[in-house]
Amino acid sequence: MTTRLSPYELMEKLVSFPTVSRDSNLPLVDWVEGYLNSHGITAHRHYDETGEKAALFAHVGPEVAGGVVLSGHTDVVPVDGQPWAGDPFTVVERDGKYYGRGCCDMKGFDALAIWALVEAHQMGVARPLQLALSYDEEVGCVGAPPMIERMLEVLPKAELAIIGEPSMMQTVTGHKGGIGHNVHAIGFEVHSSLMHTGVNAIMASAPLIDWANRMNAENRARVPSELAAMFEPPWTTVHVGMIEGGTAHNITAKDCRFGMDFRVVPGEDPEEWSARFMAEVARVEAAMQAVHPEARIDVTPKFLVPGLKPEEGGAAEAFVRQITGDNASHVVSYGTEAGQFQERGYSAVICGPGNIAQAHQPDEFITKAQFEAGHEFMRGLLARLNRAGAA
């Protein structure tokens, strides 16, 4: 009989694969698929356009609709330049914590979900359980939508999805949406002593970045809606996190590249914010072209992540609350794949072990207590799925 690994052993194995978003996740996918197959579980893949990454999903229990999805992502953020105390891709237990890249975000949950899927298959649950492991969540949740579409084609449609992002095992029913753009301003180079005859791409970009500052100030000053007031901060934020450009201090910059990202409170439309930004881009571009007609600003979409909207009488929320006993209201400002499941007709909720404050940090960790709380949640989930006529 094939050995059934514990959640901790599964987490150790998953963390050992350095699935940074810029690299392939196929070695991890190969291993998980082989592990599931060894227990008689058929897994399905959906590859990205490069063929270097794949989502993996599986179904156990009756071949009927109405089941539960455990959803996680396989990619992690880079460790470059971070001062880790040891190897980021080896789980180390110290002071009641498990350290390793992804232990918190979110290979700890992935391990628990894989464990639960195998257990559900072995016990023969009355209600189906599905596993969904995506790619490229960390670069804008771009891997989940094609995975979900493929799941709907291949598997019986589940009723609800539990997205296991670190929430301290709280029942999170809402998160902000997000939209991001890559911006490339192209100027015209001249010697800086004659800057009035050239177009400095960096200086031309400055009004767009200042527009972000002004939008943040206006949004912060506005009285938030009742729904927006649940979030921290309770307004839509506009952010530029990286910028590069220029050749030398005495040349008007030919190029300037930066990202413009929005985290949008429910009730506001991310695409409307995008349209407002593009109107500002058009205004700045016209001023650039008045100096030199070849100057321009290219804007390409980076990501679009729908928000998770609290559901009235949501099946996912009710199911998770019955297991956790958590009856408080929780929302988060970070984006997840939950809104994408909800958009495709699943009832969705976020509930997973660990603290989001540890995500992406050097010496990322999940506490043993939180990991065990996640394990206890999975035991409760299996008990509910195993009840005859469970709903």
Q: Residues with catalytic annotation?
A: 75, 137
**What is the SS3 assignment for 36?**
helix
Q: Check: CB of residue 364 under 8 Å from CB of residue 99.
A: yes
Q: How many CB atoms lie within 10 A of CB 315?
A: 17
Question: Residues of 34-67 as b/e, b for ≥16 C-beta within 10 angstroms?
Answer: ebbeebebebbebebeeeebbbbbbbbbeeeeeb
- Which residues, in sequence order, are bridge partners of residue 129? 60, 68
The token duo for 82 is 């971070």
**What is the SS3 assignment for 70?**
strand
The token duo for 126 is 């009355």
| E-strand stretches of the chain | 43-47, 54-60, 68-73, 92-94, 97-99, 129-134, 160-163, 174-175, 177-186, 237-239, 243-245, 255-264, 296-305, 331-332, 347-350, 365-367
For 322, counting Cβ atoms within 10 Å of its Cβ (0-12 exposed, 13-18 middle, 19+ buried), the class is exposed
Q: Torsions phi, psi of 37, nearest 5?
A: -60, -35
